[in-house]
Amino acid sequence: MKAWQRAGRVWGLALAMAAAGLLAGCGGSCSNLDGPEFEYAIQPVGTVGQPYRVELSVNILRTLFDSAYGYSFSSPDQMPPGLTLQHVGNSNRVQIVGVPTQAGSYTVRVWVEVSEPSGQGPDADLLCWTGTETTVKIDVQKP
């Protein structure tokens, strides 16, 4: 065997071991390297005293059955005055809604934690990660 062939085998073995280590880090069962991800949403400019609403949604990467999972949304940040974070049913959507009471620029982080579907359905494989966050910039202007 030539030196370059041995080197190729060593690199191939190293890559296989690295991949096994990556999978082992998420329980060894996350076969698709999937997890939740926020979809990009355009945040409208709000006006003090006028109803405001922006909706964010989360998809599970590489799965067709987002509705099989449970979603829990939260924010470590205080919402702009007059606005609240509201989960839309038991869906993969959350809204920031209300009537802003103070002009300004606000930055709010929104976190989602996803729970695995129960049973042995089509998405019974484990997620590699179950939580993620996005940052929402909300501008509120005076009337």
Are 138 and 54 in contact, with CB atoms under 8 Å apart?
yes
Q: Residue 72: which domain range?
A: 31-141
CATH of the domain at 64: 2.60.40.10
Same domain, 53 and 89: yes
Q: Which residue has the tokens 């006028």?
A: 50
Q: Which residue has the tokens 């190293």?
A: 14
H or E stretch at 6 = helix 3-24
In the three-class reduction of DSSP (H, G, I as helix; E, B as strand; rest coil), residue 107 is classed as strand
Domain tally, the chain: 2
pTM greater than the 0.85 cutoff: no
**One domain, residues 120 and 54:** yes
Within this chain, do residues 70 and 23 fall inside the same structural domain, yes or no? Answer: no
Q: What is the pLDDT of residues 53-111, one digit of tens each?
A: 999 999 987 777 778 888 999 999 999 999 999 999 889 999 999 999 999 999 999 99
Are residues 39 and 24 both part of a single domain? no
d(C-alpha 75, C-alpha 111), whole Å: 6
Over residues 98-126, the mean pLDDT reads: 83
pLDDT at 110: 97
Q: Could you tell me if 18 and 39 lie in one domain?
A: no
